[in-house]
A = this chain, B = another copy of it.
Amino acid sequence: MKEFAAFKNKADLLRKWSLISTTEATSGHPTSCLSAADLTAVLFEKYFTYDIADPLNNYNDRFVLSKGHAAPLLYAFFGVAGAYPLDELKTLRKFGSRFQGHPVPKFAYAEAATGSLGQGLSVGAGLALAAKREGLSSKTFVLTGDGELAEGQIWEAANFATHEKLDNLVAILDINRLAQSQPTMFGHQIEEYVNRFKAFGFEVIAIDGHNYEEIDRAFEKAVNNKNGKPTAIVAKTIKGKGISFLEDKDGWHGKALKKDELQKALAELGDVDDQARFALKKPSGKLMPANTDVKYRVATSFENGKEYATREVFGEVLASLVEQNKNLYVLDGDVMNSTFTEDVKKKTPDRFIECYIAEQNMVSVAVGLSRLGRVPFAATFGAFFTRAADQIRMARVSEANVKFAGSHVGVSIGEDGPSQMALEDIAMFGALPGAVVLQPADAWCTASLVQEMAAHTGIVYMRTLRPKTALLYSKDEHFEIGGSKLLRHSDHDELTVAATGITVFEALKAADELEKENIHIRVLDCYSIHPIDAAALNESVHATKQNLLVTVEDHFEHGGMGDFAAAALSDTGAHIIKMAVPDISQSGTKDELLHDAGIDAEHIAQKVRELCAVTA
């Protein structure tokens, strides 16, 4: 058939350039590209709707390369689709090239950075969900390897896709039998995958991934599927397919062909029409990501003398923001009554996404939403964001605009004990270049920062507190990313205590206590942990008698606010004393645990007394 000849020609063209580019780079994963070349050639030749001039058009179909190491194949696609000359593929993996070892945003056609496996189906579910909820006609295709199906996140995504009835999502499983170091768990036992995806509620189509008729029929069925089920095309393929000495051979993962091997391989491919191009169908509509650079105004009011949990204020303000801005989505991991995102569900259920207890999928779904220009807020206990540390890392590599709110931080949560306490979350988020980390201590600061968070482009993490806290500020106070508030100061202060979150109140109590002993200290509320207010820290330290900063935080010692403060003062010669949680905590009341961790008012006051005595 003529159509099949076109498929074959395109597939071999993709093969050819996957081989050439990796040999040129002297590294890469050509055999992983070859197994998927037939599948993807058919998809692009016949089923993929896409405007190459506008990768961000929301009406475009979406192709997520979950098996990121097959990047040369992805790069070859868009070259054959006319996005750039094929010859540019020879810059693969070279410094400065858009064709990096694994896809990153520098390659404009990548829906997300991939390369940490098993995340693509979740990203695709995010793309498909937005399309579904907003009535866009686009389809999302996700190409996964078989090795990565061992990642649990795949099954989180599968549950989610079925539950959300994403029949606009097509998973293409490239079952080529061989993983990096050995055969996969199931090799070519296709039924193992078929059974699993069926059990998870997918429409499953098992095919020979090199038989164009079967591939074609599978895609035709998948794109016309309206039964509410996502589709999984389980394709039995041969790693290295098309080149005899590579086919189904172990030991070729992540190896480029040598020049002479390449010549042999190209000879086997025979005549391939280098001028052939995919003629992608253009979508009929155009919808570009909305401008998210919006300032928000949420009317909130807090009563003097009353106490508020910052997590509650977060939920309330976020719900108003979501109501006012249709780009905002909120994702929950079955803790909406703890993080108070339940307020969003009540007001705008269409922009609330229940991810159940599956934090990895939640974060990668958010990455998908971000790609379409939506602004996703993901919220769970701060401790449980560690469950998605890799997905958060990849969100950063993807340059995704995702907001994270972690409740129940620190030992101040009390009786639930250490498994529920976020005590390493500042280290985790803070290590990511450019990520913003905030921790408001009172309701007014929270209300303001939630809005700053939404308006900021890039990753922002907010720590919220379980216990209620008193009001420190008033309506007209201004808060900003990178700011701080000086809460106590006099003309004869001994030193500065920088605190954040719950420890602000402890520092204030300590200051009051010390005041009675005629020891005066400054207290700085570092509600912006990263970036930290270096200018205020400097000024504060220099305005006191001692060139000394005491930091107090409800976080482990390493990687917390204290380290940001120390870095900000590193060239001043200031002494830094970090007070933080020194060990795994336990159950108890908030006050018992703050005391036990040595970060309560009593310990702060005692530390200040010691420091003053030393230099007195």
Known A-B contacts A27-B415, A163-B185, A592-B95; the reply to A358 vs B151 at CB < 8 A is yes
Q: Which residue of B lies closest to A419 (CB)?
A: B115
Residue among A424, A556, A581 with the highest chain B CB neighbour number at 10 A = A424
Does A390 contact B386, Cβ atoms closer than 8 Å?
yes
Does A211 interact with chain B (Cβ within 8 Å)?
no
Residue among A150, A557, A575, A582 with the highest chain B CB neighbour number at 10 A = A150
Which residue from B387, B417, B558, B576 sits with its C-beta under 8 Å from A564?
A: B558
A89-111, CB under 8 A of B: which get 1 and which 0?
00001111100111010100000
C-alpha spacing A342/B182, complex, angstroms: 11
Copies in the complex: 2
Does A454 interact with chain B (Cβ within 8 Å)?
no
C-alpha spacing A431/B581, complex, angstroms: 10
Does A338 interact with chain B (Cβ within 8 Å)?
yes
Q: Which residue of B lies closest to A193 (CB)?
A: B199
Does A415 contact B93, Cβ atoms closer than 8 Å?
yes
Does A428 contact B430, Cβ atoms closer than 8 Å?
no
Which residue from B94, B156, B181, B530 sits with its C-beta under 8 Å from A558?
A: B530
Which residue from B25, B387, B433 sits with its C-beta under 8 Å from A389?
A: B387
Does B101 contact A415, Cβ atoms closer than 8 Å?
yes
- The residues in A between 520 and 578 inclusive whose CB is less than 8 angstroms from any CB of B are 530, 547, 556-560, 563-564, 566-567, 570-578
C-alpha spacing A336/B570, complex, angstroms: 41
Does A78 interact with chain B (Cβ within 8 Å)?
no
C-alpha spacing A570/B251, complex, angstroms: 50
Does A515 interact with chain B (Cβ within 8 Å)?
no
- The residues in A between 336 and 363 inclusive whose CB is less than 8 angstroms from any CB of B are 336-338, 342, 354, 356-358, 360-361
C-alpha spacing A114/B361, complex, angstroms: 21
Does A430 contact B558, Cβ atoms closer than 8 Å?
yes
Chain B residues positioned under 8 Å from A409 (CB to CB)? none
Does A457 interact with chain B (Cβ within 8 Å)?
no
Which residue from B106, B342, B358, B574 sits with its C-beta under 8 Å from A586?
A: B106
Q: Which residue of B lies closest to A336 (CB)?
A: B181
Does A150 contact B563, Cβ atoms closer than 8 Å?
no
Which residue from B179, B393, B396 sits with its C-beta under 8 Å from A383?
A: B393
Chain B residues positioned under 8 Å from A198 (CB to CB)? 195, 199
Residue among A152, A547, A556, A560 with the highest chain B CB neighbour number at 10 A = A152
Does A152 contact B154, Cβ atoms closer than 8 Å?
yes
A371-388, CB under 8 A of B: which get 1 and which 0?
000000000000110110
Chain B residues positioned under 8 Å from A588 (CB to CB)? 93-96
C-alpha spacing A198/B566, complex, angstroms: 54
Which residue from B104, B113, B155, B560 sits with its C-beta under 8 Å from A152?
A: B155
C-alpha spacing A424/B28, complex, angstroms: 24
Q: Which residue of B lies closest to A582 (CB)?
A: B433
A419-440, CB under 8 A of B: which get 1 and which 0?
1100110011011111000000
Chain B residues positioned under 8 Å from A358 (CB to CB)? 150-152
Known A-B contacts A386-B390, A389-B387, A420-B101; the reply to A150 vs B584 at CB < 8 A is no
Does A587 interact with chain B (Cβ within 8 Å)?
yes
Known A-B contacts A181-B337, A185-B356; the reply to A95 vs B417 at CB < 8 A is no
Does B586 contact A427, Cβ atoms closer than 8 Å?
no
A399-424, CB under 8 A of B: which get 1 and which 0?
00000000000000001111110011
Does A397 interact with chain B (Cβ within 8 Å)?
yes
Does A114 contact B356, Cβ atoms closer than 8 Å?
no
Q: Which residue of B lies closest to A105 (CB)?
A: B584
Shortest beta-carbon contacts, A-B, top 4: A152-B152, A115-B419, A95-B588, A389-B389
Additional 15 contacts, C-beta under 8 A, given A430-B559, A433-B556: A94-B588, A95-B586, A100-B417, A102-B420, A150-B334, A151-B358, A159-B185, A180-B335, A199-B200, A397-B419, A433-B557, A559-B559, A563-B566, A567-B578, A570-B575
